[in-house]
Amino acid sequence: MVERLLKNKDFWAGVMFIGFGAAAMFIARDYRFGSAKLMGPGFFPTILGGILVGFGVCITAVGLLRGEKIQERLSIRALVLLPLSLILFGLLVQSAGFIPAIAVLMFIAALSGRQFRFLEVLVLTGILVVATVSLFIWGLGLPYPLFKGF
Amino acid sequence: MDILQNLFYGIGVALSLQNLLYCFIGVLVGTLIGVLPGIGPLATIAMLLPITYNIPPVAALIMLAGIYYGAQYGGSTTSILVNLPGETSSVVTCIDGYQMARQGRAGVALAIAAIGSFIAGTICTMLIAMIGPSVAEYALKFGSPEYFSLMLLGLVTAAVLAQGDMLKSLAMMFLGLMLGIVGSDVDTGIKRFTFGFFELADGIGFVVIAVGVFAVGEIISNLSETEERMVFTSKVGSLYPTLQDLKQAIAPILRGTAFGAFFGVLPGTGPSIASFGSYMIEKKIADDPSRFGHGAIEGVAGPESANNADAQCKFIPMLTLGIPASGTMALMLGALMIHGITPGPSVMVQQPALFWGLIASMWIGNLMLVVLNLPLVGLWVSLLKVPYRMLFPAIMVFSAIGIYSTNNTSFDVYLAAIFGILGIMWRLFGCSPIPMLLGFVLGPMMEENLRRALQVSEGDPSVFLTRPISLAFLIATALVLIVMVMPAVRKRRDDITG
């Protein structure tokens, strides 16, 4: 039973909508609701949150009735490494410069695939560094230092 | 003769050296990503949005539009040659197009697809030029209640016609509206849902959501599936269709165009619905339906014209009403907003160069595609040999730079990572992200119009029902919902969208 619930597609979709809706309503308590005539900043979000919770409840119910399972596969490796590569890019582009940020992003992203060939990624990184530096830094004139703190 | 005058004005704009260049870049990039599976026009346009900050809005829109219809074109090339649809809209082209290729008639199939697309493009350009101004003129009279109801109609139609579970699509639309109001409230300046991050004061970046969900999320999803690639085998053969071929193809082309144009203006119906519908009609009315599936030229001509007509007519509601009928159109609206242009019927009056230039550029772009594609077919096909493992890190690099350069802040990059994770989660749960994107774009405008409408009516919600145009939109919204929950219609819809 528990395992079936864990893989229940609609159940989780519903729970997610309830979560978003309830959180929105909860946070929007701090914003003045106002009235229909003079809508405060809390008016629209509270109503939207309520609608979302309503949909969430219906979808959860559908899920419990239908019990459709999640069929898509998920590569945990990609799920972890790809967002991580972006985060590292964000950190490095400010602290180490444009080129190191791109190089690290390339390597971490490439690692998230099934096949990783070091030399191939190295060559590709070289090509992309040249391409992006000429397009974005020299071409479009974006003011990012290529290297920083070296 | 206003129409011709306007079109000539537009052609003048589109033929400026700069606009021609961006049109060319657009269709080139579009064809490229259309050929390459695993990256679609939505992700590409999202990725390239930040680059368009530095160029004038007309050129930006012309380029983005070129990517959009160019991608469809590239998708059909690979469908015919290697039975591998680059885009969902060209799935049905595989059926007869690939068979034609196996019979040594690949060149003819490609040429017919090109001719059909071009004819469809020409007719739709005229159509936009004819009905666009009257729609916009009519819409200029709309007040807040009409706008609110119209947006609701657009969003609900898009959600129920979109692929996937209707209930979840509607919920995603509301979630999008919610995400759209993050940031400072226009009325009071109060920061809503910013969690103390000053980076969120102007709201969640358009590029952040689009790239996060449609580039990063898409890649995670692709990496989760096993990679399969077909190898190109058949020869292209003669590019010139015989007179007999043309005679057989012309009626399906015109029918496909009509079909695509009709579905084009409906929100939420992707080009795949238009092309599937056209294929089914051709098969039904054919003298000998058994030829279909064995290289019937009608099976290429009809759907290819239909998906091009659909793509082009999607611009009608976007340009004249400011209502995005698809995910890509939502991005186009975003591009307008980035350049400080408020979407809506006033665009045509205030930005005639943009409106007519864009329309004319689509016609010119279609011509470019014919010239560009037929001789270069071999080059495009050889691109198919680029493995995905080399492609996706490059997409990540362009995505990251695109996001970062929007506001020069790493915060946006982190946020995109979160939306990538959300994107894959939605996919697992079977929630289509497209209605969310549409809601996100329209969220602030919907709140504003609701607020204004209720202010004028002194808080009386019946204002939406007593104004006839608004009432008509609401009745239409209700009808759409009622019709779609009817079991018979629902089943047909599932058949078509699969």
CB contact under 8 A, B454 and A39: yes
Mean pLDDT of chain A: 90
Residue A3 C-alpha, separation from nearest chain B C-alpha, in angstroms: 16
CB contact under 8 A, A17 and B175: yes
Tokens of B84: 């591998």
- 3 state SS of A5: helix
Question: Average of pLDDT values for B68-75?
Answer: 84
CB contact under 8 A, B430 and A9: yes
pLDDT > 70? residue B1: no
Question: Average of pLDDT values for B201-211?
Answer: 88
Q: What whole-number percentage of chain B has pLDDT above 90?
A: 22
B252 alpha carbon, distance to own chain's centre: 23
**Cβ–Cβ under 8 Å, residues B163 and B270:** yes
Residue B425's pLDDT is what?
93
Contacts of B414 in chain A (CB under 8 A): 86-87, 90
- Residue among B167, B225, B398 whose CB faces A58 most closely: B167
- Residue among A13, A31, A109 whose CB faces B192 most closely: A31
Q: Which residues contact B497 (CB under 8 A, 6 or more apart)?
A: B163, B272, B273
A64, A82, A132, A140: best mutation site toward chain B, by most B Cβ within 10 Å?
A82
Confirm or reject contact between B459 and chain A (CB < 8 A): yes
- Residue among B225, B390, B425 whose CB faces A120 most closely: B390
Q: What is the ipTM of this complex?
A: 0.94
**Cβ–Cβ under 8 Å, residues B256 and B121:** no
User: Which among B288, B278, B293 has a CA at the least distance from the CA of B95?
Assistant: B293
Q: What whole-number percentage of chain A has pLDDT above 70?
A: 97
CB contact under 8 A, A55 and B174: yes
Cβ-Cβ pairs closer than 8 A, A with B, add up to 191
Distance, CA of B1 to CA of B380 (rounded, Å): 41
CB contact under 8 A, B175 and A132: no
Residue B478's pLDDT is what?
92
Among A28-32, A93-97, B282-286, B449-453, where is mean pLDDT lowest?
B282-286
- Residue among A72, A77, A89 whose CB faces B400 most closely: A89
Q: Which residues contact A1 (CB under 8 A, 6 or more apart)?
A: none
Distance, CA of B318 to CA of B308 (rounded, Å): 16
User: Which among B80, B150, B142, B144 has a CA at the least distance from the CA of B116?
Assistant: B80
Tens of pLDDT, residue by residue over B225-267, are: 765 544 455 566 677 778 888 888 888 999 989 988 888 877 7
CB contact under 8 A, A113 and B397: no
- 3 state SS of A69: strand
CB contact under 8 A, B170 and A55: yes
Residue B498's pLDDT is what?
42
Question: Average of pLDDT values for B26-33?
Answer: 89
How many C-beta atoms surround the C-beta of residue B268 within 10 A? 26
Q: Which residues contact B341 (CB under 8 A, 6 or more apart)?
A: B57, B347, B350, B351, B354
Tokens of A116: 């990783």
Residue B393 C-alpha, separation from nearest chain A C-alpha, in angstroms: 6
Contacts of B388 in chain A (CB under 8 A): 113
Q: Which residues contact B176 (CB under 8 A, 6 or more apart)?
A: B435, B436, B437, B438, B439, B440, B441, B443
For residue A21, give the chain B residue with the closest CA: B175
- Residue among A32, A48, A120 whose CB faces B178 most closely: A48
CB contact under 8 A, B428 and A58: no
CB contact under 8 A, B455 and A39: yes
pLDDT > 90? residue B46: no
A47, A76, A89: best mutation site toward chain B, by most B Cβ within 10 Å?
A89
φ, ψ for residue B183, nearest 5 deg = 115, -170
Contacts of A120 in chain B (CB under 8 A): 390
Among A128-132, B65-69, B71-75, where is mean pLDDT lowest?
B71-75
Q: Please state the pTM of the whole predicted model.
A: 0.86
pLDDT > 60? residue A125: yes
Among A84-93, B35-44, B186-195, B293-302, where is mean pLDDT lowest?
B35-44
Question: Average of pLDDT values for B94-99?
Answer: 83
3-state secondary structure B466-484: HCHHHHHHHHHHHHHHHHH
Distance, CA of B360 to CA of A25 (rounded, Å): 47
- Residue among B185, B219, B399 whose CB faces A41 most closely: B185
User: Which among B272, B264, B254 has a CA at the least distance from the CA of B362?
Assistant: B264
Mean pLDDT of chain B: 85
CB contact under 8 A, B216 and A44: no
Distances A135 to A140, A143, A148, B211 between C-alpha atoms, Å: 6, 12, 20, 19
Tens of pLDDT, residue by residue over B388-414, are: 888 889 989 999 998 998 888 999 999
- 3 state SS of B149: helix
Question: Of residues A111 and B83, which shows the higher confidence score?
Answer: A111
